[in-house]
Amino acid sequence: MGLPRTLLRTAAVGSLSAALVTGGALGPAPAARAATGSVDFVDITGDGGTVLKANVVTPRGAGAGDRFPLLVLPTSWGLPQIQYLAQARRLADAGYVVVSYNVRGFWQSGGQIEVGGPRDVADASRVIDWALANTPADARHIGMAGVSYGAGISLLAAAHDERVGAVAALSGWADLIESIYSGRTQHSQAVALLNGTGTLTGRPGPELQQILADFFASRLEREEEMIAWGKKRSPATYVDRINANGTAVMLANAWGDTVFPPDQYTDFYEKLTVPKRLALRPGDHGTAELTGMFGLPNDVWTDTGRWFDHHLKGVDNGVDREAPVRLMPRSGGGYEGCPDWRSVAAADRKFDLSGTTTIRTNVNSGADGGIVLLSSVLDQIARTPAVASIPLLPRRWAAVWQSEKYGNPQRVRGAARLHTTVTATEESGTLVAYLYDVGPLGLGKLVSNAPYTFHGRTPGKPFGVDLELFSTAYDVPAGHRLALVVDTVDPLYIEHNPSGARLTFSSPANDPSYVSVPLREQ
């Protein structure tokens, strides 16, 4: 298998490079030192002597002795080093030296995939060292940016290298475990996508292969080891270092990101004490930034340029005076500004989950979170989220509660919270909660969802469940109602329900069950 993948990677890089040359994007042949105004392909020695394939773009017309702010762009998971060329040219024209490099383990760079491990962090510092020695980069003004994998590595590098003064982390992760194992539930479709693209375009190391094998096999005896592995690779673990370094941090993500859901970013944002900015938009993983990588107008990349202009070049462009939290609702409209994440919702509105309901497990009721990437992209482009007919959901496998009809639009902003009491017939199990916007005909549009898995419970003994659904910004029209649906099977996740198990949801008088929905003022 190794030889065909190597040939595929080489051919793909060659084809993409040829296309760029034909389009006039490339300058002269590769050189050991970047020439001004050109795009040059270079080899950079990373940690332990590993060769990293990189390209360098410098401002046009730079003279001897000129110095420019440096931007380092690690590539996304599975994408080659030419990923950022369009943006690199734009940033270079704005007065930056831009170095983009293929992270270790992917494409033609050496080494094995580390998933933001210590060698990846050390590689970022080696790239900075190389740029300071071989380009007109200014050691006093250094920034890092990236999409997805490149975003996570940029944040990790900022925690470990105090030279990094500003970061723009786009569609990235702050907490790897909360991203792929929230609610103690494996996000199987997302990880399978990463595993497949990583195997096709890179070389997973033995540690990663073991972690993935344990993940998909649900080996609980290895759970603590997997969590420790993920925390070591999570910028949130090192938030105190980022704060101590004073790095200005811009975070951007999509409401429907099925790889790195927005909540782990919002939690991280609240812990930052440095200059910071958070932008959340409709879409899925990496889709909000995609058009910018083709050189088309894109507000995410525009914000990125403004962020660096202010924090690396000292430009008074007003970015520091704007509301630091910017939200674009999924249901349309422009950006809404907030002073912090806690101010996104002005109040919570509850509806009760009364009565006692028992459902059987192991069958998908028809309520689910959609398909990784596809469903949220459709929501982004056509405002058509995953749907379910609420009246037709089989109550044998789905518990359903609905609010009253709302006389006014309900501006849902943030994370809805479920509180209930569960009694299980087995010691382990999984439930998935969905919040729907239900129209007059009973068609429910998915507002949010989240999974929850339990182990080691005493069969027949009630226990409390508190589950925070993924954050969103969604406007429920007047005349509609909200519905909470709970079932036990969703293609996005691995479920842990033994065959024939049942779950009972109750609302004790001394501890009533409810859903709390965060709402912004009308």
Given a cut of 90, whether residue 137 has pLDDT beyond it is yes
Residue 383: predicted pLDDT: 81
Given a cut of 70, whether residue 194 has pLDDT beyond it is yes
Residue-wise pLDDT tens digits, 77-121? 999 989 999 999 999 999 999 999 999 999 999 999 999 999 999
**Residues present in the chain in total:** 522
With vertex at residue 237, the alpha carbon angle to CA 196 and CA 447, rounded to the nearest 5 degrees, is 60
Cβ burial 47-70 (10 Å sphere, 16+ → b, else e): beebebbbbbbbbeebeeeeebbb
What percentage of residues in the chain have a pLDDT greater than 70? Answer: 93
> What mean pLDDT comes out for the span 446-471?
98
Helix axes 188-201, 2-22, angle to 10 degrees: 80
Residue 25: predicted pLDDT: 33
Least confident of 4-13, 80-89, 127-136, 488-497: 4-13
Tokens representing 313? 């070049």
322 CB burial (10 A radius; 0-12, 13-18, 19+): middle
> What mean pLDDT comes out for the span 26-45?
62
Residue 28: predicted pLDDT: 32
Residue 23: predicted pLDDT: 31
Tokens representing 510? 């001394």
Helix axes 118-134, 149-160, angle to 10 degrees: 80
Strand partners for 410:
476
Residue 232 DSSP symbol: H
> What mean pLDDT comes out for the span 302-316?
97
Q: Is the Cβ–Cβ distance between 435 and 484 less than 8 Å?
A: yes
> What mean pLDDT comes out for the span 412-428?
97
Q: What's the predicted TM-score (pTM) here?
A: 0.90
> What mean pLDDT comes out for the span 51-62?
92
Q: Is the Cβ–Cβ distance between 137 and 192 less than 8 Å?
A: no
